[in-house]
Structure 1
Amino acid sequence: MPGMLLCSSSACRARSGLIRTWAFLLAKLSLFLVATQAMAQASVENLQNTSNDPLTPKMAFEFHNYAQPVLTDRPASGADQGYFRFVLPHASFGVDQMMRASMPVVASSWDPERAVNGVGDFTIFNLAVHYFGTVKTGIGPLLVVPTASSPALGTGKWQAGVEAVVSAPHSWGLTTILASWQQTLDGSLQTVTAQPLLFFNLPDRFYLRSTGIASFALGKNAVVPVGLGLGRVFELPNGASLNTFVEPQYSVIQNGPGVAAFQVFAGVVIQLPVRFR
Structure 2
Amino acid sequence: MTPRCLRRGVLLVLISALYRESGALAQQARTPSLEDLAKAAQNPIADTISVGLETIVMPNTGPYRQTANVVKIEPVIPFQLNADWNLVTRTTIPGIAQVRFSAEQGRIGGVGDVNQILALTPSHSGPLIWGVGPTFSYPSATDPALGSGKWSAGPTLVALTMPGPWVLGVLANNIWSFAGPSDRAPVNQMMLQYFVTYNFSDGSYISASPVITANWLAKGRDRWVIPIGAGVGKMFMVDQQPINAEIGVYYNLLKPDHASHWQFRASLAFLFPK
TM-score (norm 2): 0.76
Pairing 1:126–2:127 present: no
- 8 Å contact 1:222–1:259 — kept in the other structure? no
2:236 counterpart residue number: 234
Give a deviation string over 1:2-31, Cα, whole Å, max 9, x none: xxxxxxxxxxxxxxxxxxxxxxxxxxxxxx
Q: 2 CA distance for matches of 1:110 and 1:66? A: 14
- Paired position in structure 1 for 2:163: 170
Partner residue in 2 for 1:65: 55
From 222, 225, 228, the counterpart of 2:227: 225
1:24-103 paired onto structure 2 within 5 Å: 46-71=36-61, 74-92=63-81, 95-103=85-93
Deviations 1:16-52 (A, max 9, x none): xxxxxxxxxxxxxxxxxxxxxxxxxx99x73321221
Letter in 1 for 2:257: P
Distance in 1 between residues matched to 2:249 and 2:46, nearest whole Å: 25
Question: 1:76, CA displacement in angstroms?
Answer: 1.2
**What does the per-residue CA deviation read over 1:203-236, in whole Å, with 9 as the maximum and x for residues that have no partner?**
5321111111000000312111112111110135
What one-letter code is carried by the residue in structure 1 that aligns with 2:93?
A: M
1:12-31 alignment to 2 at 5 Å?
A: none
Cα separation, 1, equivalents of 2:55 and 2:155:
24
Secondary structure of the residue aligned to 1:133 is coil
**1:89-120 Cα distance to aligned partner (Å, 9 max, x none):** 1023662111111111x311112742101111
Among 143, 151, 168, the alignment partner of 1:150 is 143
Whether the 8 Å CA contact 1:70–1:263 is kept in 2: the answer is no
Aligned-pair Cα RMSD in Å? 2.3
Unaligned runs of 5+ in 2: 1-31, 180-184
Q: What TM-score results when the alignment is normalised by the length of structure 1?
A: 0.76
Identity across matched positions, percent: 21
Q: Which residue does 1:36 correspond to in 2?
A: none
Q: Could you tell which deviates more after superposition, 258-267 or 142-151? A: 258-267
Cα deviation, residue 237, structure 1: 5.9
Q: Which residue of 2 aligns with 1:266?
A: 266
Higher alpha-carbon deviation: 141-150 or 229-238: 229-238
Structure 1 consecutive aligned stretches of length 4 or more whose deviation exceeds 4 Å: none
Q: Distance in 1 between matches of 2:158 and 2:239?
A: 29
2:198 maps to amino acid: F
* Structure 1 Cα separation of the partners of residues 60 and 178 of structure 2: 31
Q: Provide the C-alpha distance between the structure 2 equivalents of 1:98 and 1:190, rounded to a whole number of angstroms.
A: 24
Deviation (angstroms), 1:126: 0.7
Structure 1: distance between partners of 2:226 and 2:150:
24
Structure 1 pair 134–140 and aligned structure 2 pair: CA distance change class (3 A):
same
Please state whether the residue corresponding to 1:200 is helix, strand or coil: strand
Q: CA deviation at 1:189?
A: 1.9
How many correspondences in the alignment?
A: 229
1:111 alignment partner, one of 92, 97, 100: 100
What SS is found at the alignment partner of 1:204?
A: coil
In 1, Cα distance between the equivalents of 2:213 and 2:40?
A: 26
